[in-house]
Chains A and B, each alone.
Chain A
């Protein structure tokens, strides 16, 4: 609808990406930073820029885009603005998979073990949600199913912590669960990228089907949309994106809820147009949140997932309030 939306969001993401590269505890000038990043001038600065800030900014874009895209696709498919990877238990299930992998040592087994474990957890939760709430399920059933899955995954994570042999491991898992982009390396970028690309590709193929689903399943099927294929692409795509995002950044909630909600009016509410917009919007939101975390409390290591929840939860309450007034 609005031709400036996508270019505007691209510019916003680019600006925030640059800001993310330039802001940090090490006071480095703009010129010096860029020289180090691009030409490799200055040994210590190169290390900071290429090994610390670049992966952090890249992961901000990747994780944010993944969460925004997954949220928009889930909402389009379930025809419910309350659907969100965090709320329906996908993030918690992915975290459970990752925690189990960390705890059992499976994660150290091979390079992609951690994302693969998180992805498995995410797949299980998305399949469970589709079985329990179904594409025709009401908001109520969807939220209840989400609560049940989140609670179960949370309880199992607690059990792992409970049985954890040493308090340091438990502590590490707890902090990891809160979601953060601090101290990530290019290895994390390399581990997450293939899953995220595959997930994004799968969801990209659903856009025509998601548009048709606006009119319900029967209408979509009568317009030649293969619903089984659509459902499969959606499960694989969402799980790959959320699983990979959770594996590298921990559980970061509400991005997939807030971003599509804000951008929907800008794309004429069309689910297909919402996908790229939400991916960019998610990247912008996560980069902004990650910069805010560094600016608000540089000494305290404020966790990213904590901040997104503090911002996102009131918006979620506002959405429920609106849904209630609409008489649903």
Chain B
């Protein structure tokens, strides 16, 4: 069963394609790292795949009606907007919006999903605190918990680790990896290539709106691809502690 299938997806702005001819399928069990320099089209691809932007081509998600799509895929936007001082619990419970009955209070299944999401992100101690009083990293974790509470098989996350401390970055990547291992799938745009290499099962490299490489980390982060898309060289080695990737210098 394919969780996401995108064919020849193209998004144009003012007549110019910002993302062009993307083909991508995501299967259960995959944790896909979406890589590329700033402006490569990572956010545009994620939003278009969800149908949040007008596009040409085909996306299996965008074809679904709103609520069904919300049950098939959850989206963590890049902007970490929280307009009102909701408690962490109430914020996470927003993930239950796609399920009927959420307006009349949460059902038993809803509560369980919220509790699971809160404990997976280690937010038990913040449960009743207003989110606006938390630090940026804690807010980011609460927002990820909201996405988990939606209990969709596919998670699309736009820079989920930005602004998190190292422990929280690793914890977040592990939560996503576990979600994929449990039969779901994750597509996350990432700037930290080191994290991507260690946790993702597959990397997709974008450059100038085009998909330039797609495969296992070692196949994608080749010296040639790094030079062409990022303009860097890096140290990439398989060690006893798993793969290690460290950018070294600009070219």
- A residues with a Cβ closer than 8 A to B are 79, 207-208, 211-216, 218-219, 221-226, 264, 268-272
Minimum C-beta distance from B204 to chain A (A): 20
The reply to whether A216 and B86 form a contact with Cβ atoms under 8 Å apart is no
Given known A-B contacts A215-B82, A221-B52, A222-B50, A268 and B97 have beta carbons under 8 A apart: no
Q: Which of B55-111 contact A (CB under 8 A)?
A: 66-71, 73-77, 79, 81-87, 90-91, 94-95, 97-98, 102-103
Q: How many residues of B contact A (CB 8 A)?
A: 35
> Hey, which chain B residues are within 8 Å of A211, CB to CB?
94, 97
- Interface residues of B: mostly helix, strand, loop or mixed? mixed
Whether a CB of chain A sits under 8 angstroms from the CB of B203 is no
Residue of A79, A224, A264, A268 near B70 (CB, 8 A) is A224
The reply to whether A215 and B143 form a contact with Cβ atoms under 8 Å apart is yes
Minimum C-beta distance from B139 to chain A (A): 11
> Hey, which chain B residues are within 8 Å of A218, CB to CB?
47, 52, 75, 77, 79
Given known A-B contacts A212-B97, A214-B94, A222 and B146 have beta carbons under 8 A apart: no
The reply to whether B73 and A264 form a contact with Cβ atoms under 8 Å apart is no
16 extra interface residue pairs, beta carbon distance < 8 Å, beyond A213-B83, A222-B77 = A207-B103, A208-B97, A212-B97, A215-B77, A215-B94, A218-B79, A219-B75, A221-B66, A222-B52, A223-B74, A223-B95, A224-B66, A224-B67, A224-B70, A224-B97, A224-B98
The reply to whether B47 and A208 form a contact with Cβ atoms under 8 Å apart is no
**Could you show 7 A-B contacts with beta carbons less than 8 Å apart?**
A211-B97, A213-B83, A215-B82, A223-B74, A224-B98, A268-B90, A270-B86
Inter-chain CA distance A213–B102, complex, in Å, is 15
Inter-chain CA distance A269–B87, complex, in Å, is 8
The reply to whether B130 and A269 form a contact with Cβ atoms under 8 Å apart is yes
> Hey, which chain B residues are within 8 Å of A213, CB to CB?
83
Given known A-B contacts A215-B82, A270-B86, A223 and B97 have beta carbons under 8 A apart: yes
Q: Which of B36-63 contact A (CB under 8 A)?
A: 47, 50, 52
Q: A81: nearest residue on chain B (CB-CB)? A: B84
Whether a CB of chain A sits under 8 angstroms from the CB of B150 is yes
Max count, chain A CB within 10 A of own CB: residue among B75, B81, B98, B150: B81
Q: A213: nearest residue on chain B (CB-CB)? A: B83
The reply to whether A223 and B70 form a contact with Cβ atoms under 8 Å apart is yes
Given known A-B contacts A207-B103, A219-B75, A269-B130, A79 and B97 have beta carbons under 8 A apart: no
> Hey, which chain A residues are within 8 Å of B95, CB to CB?
223
Inter-chain CA distance A226–B64, complex, in Å, is 13
